[in-house]
Chains A and B, each alone.
Chain A
Amino acid sequence: MRSQFWGLYVREILRTFRNPFVLLITVVQPFMWLAFFGSGFGGFSSLLAPVLGTSNYIEFLLPGVLSTSMLSVGMFGSMSTIQDKRFGFMKRILITPTSKGLVFLAKAFGSATRGLVQIPVMIAAATAFGVPFDLTPLEWAVWVLALLFIAVGFSSMFLAITASSTDWQTPGVVANFITMPLMFSSAALYPSSSFPEWMKVISTYNPISYSATFGRNLLLHGTIDWTLLGYMFVFAAAMSTIGWFVSSRWFRVE
């Protein structure tokens, strides 16, 4: 089982690095948020400083954008799965002693890992925008771990939703349907303290809020919120279990 997972996981990673275009899109998308949204909205930073907790909006935004960009990696995972189905490669994989659940797991972790590639690029960009980083190695490690949990959780969610699909268009449609509400109902772009009550409820249970708040606590206050990290672990574990179950049962091969 380990051998099959490793083979498929490495395949995902290698394929990403041999396809510079996918890599570029993965990295450019969150960078644009930071550059355009961050710079545009950042003009109000001085007014909002008491609410944001910092006078640099990019510093506030970075943990949020990193969290939402983990949401979009799921779409690439689904797209590569559907590509494998359409080109018959999924049959090549499944006519070996490899279970559908394992194929799912390798895809979920593969696309999550691809998502992590964005972190160093974003950190470098944020540094250029004047964000100071004085984190300890432990703080860096838990931040990456938190983002990995979120990425695994969302990739699993995407793969579970698109498990029975073989249509090229599905991942895009699902992404549009999921990304916007999850992003805007979280604390990724602005603080949730001023939300109306009903939106606060959604935001509280939205994993993107956990990740954004967790990153902000680290970056602005230098504190590690272990409870939030625990929530994110539970989210990743629950989504990958559901994804495993759904894929084993409803995964369509072609």
Chain B
Amino acid sequence: MNGALKVEDGAIVVTDLSKRYGSGARAVMALDHVTLSIPKGTVFGLLGPNGAGKTTLIKVLTGISDITSGHATVAGFDVERQSMDVRSRIGWVAAEVILDDDFTAWENLWLQAKLQDLRGWEERADQLLTYFELKDRKNDKVSHYSTGMRKKLEIALALLHQPVVIFMDEPTIGLDVGTRRMLWDIVTGIHKEFGVTVLLTTHYIEEADALCDRIAIIDLGKIIVEGTPSELKARVKGDIVQLEASGTLDSAMLRALPGVQEVRAQGNDWMIRVASSETFLPRLLATIPGDRIRRINVEKPSLETVFLDLTGRRIGQEEPMRDIRKFYMQMARSRR
């Protein structure tokens, strides 16, 4: 991890930051002693499942939520004590597009300029509208815009005051494939064009992989690993073979097969890490009768396997089912 970054060199420096919601027995640690440094000029991805603490971290860094303990600076200013300085140097793009629908694009930009206390903003606004290909629609009410155009305008608002950092909270959630691709191009484009640092959260692995220079994987309020996408993928040595057995399997026998590095089981679901799935699978099928196996799934190193490897879960999967009765109740309910 790159925790030694100085405050003045980092766009965002977070030290031992915790955020607790509620108190007593019902308290939830949304962020649990998070330490993170994001150098200026990077596109940094915060990857994790729903409820991992990604949005909470953005809320804390943008001053919307207060800090329970620890310390954070953005653009060299203390998030708590110099909140106004921070807020004049950051832009924010919400998961759901938030614009004033009664207003035109130009009026939305005007309001943003007023809120940021900008003078001579018109030229910059014009440039942004040209860049995002919205100029000929600038006097249309934004309620008449398509989703893609609304998203573009929202990013233009975030860039109007030439911020140091842009926060993008799940920027592509709920978008169709075409618009998502367009947004990816925009993120890469604005990073190059305007030199802005981007912190984006996502639970889409391919998004983090495609866009980010560095990634931190967050789960249950903790940063579990951080690095460049290739560094992270290099952590997972070998392939992961997932088996669903139709009966009991002998774990010692699986371990004895050549190339097996690790064997984990949860009920009839097995996770076996092997040096090469290509050589492992023929041997497995030669050892175990085919009717004992219901399903086989092979995964090559990816950010998904990094998460799977570290947490035993997939990013899209909720917490492991601890109570079997709860599991059956949920199943019964979903059948109704």
Contact = CB atoms under 8 A, between A and B. Distances in A.
A24 B110 CA distance: 28
B220 to A, nearest CB: 23
B15 to A, nearest CB: 22
Given A7-B111, A88-B96, A97 B117 contact: yes
- Chain B contact-residue range equals 20 to 34
A144 interface: no
B295 interface: no
A98 B112 CA distance: 11
Interface in B148-181: 157
Interface stretch (A13-21, A198-206, A223-231): A13-21
- Chain A contact-residue range equals 20 to 34
B114 A4 contact: yes
Contact of B64 (A14, A97, A253): A253
Nearest to A3: B117
Contacts of A98: 87, 115
A140 interface: no
Given A11-B111, A97-B117, A92 B87 contact: no
A3 B121 CA distance: 13
Nearest to A102: B115
B298 interface: no
Contacts of B107: 14
Nearest to A92: B98
B98 A97 contact: no
A137 to B, nearest CB: 33
B87 A4 contact: no
B102 A93 contact: no
A224 B116 CA distance: 43
B122 interface: no
Q: Which 9 A-B pairs have the closest CB atoms?
A: A7-B114, A96-B115, A95-B92, A3-B117, A88-B98, A97-B88, A97-B84, A18-B102, A95-B62
10 contacts: A7-B113, A7-B115, A11-B100, A14-B102, A91-B64, A93-B115, A94-B87, A96-B112, A98-B87, A99-B84
Interface of A: 3-4, 6-8, 10-11, 14-15, 18-19, 87-89, 91-99, 253-254
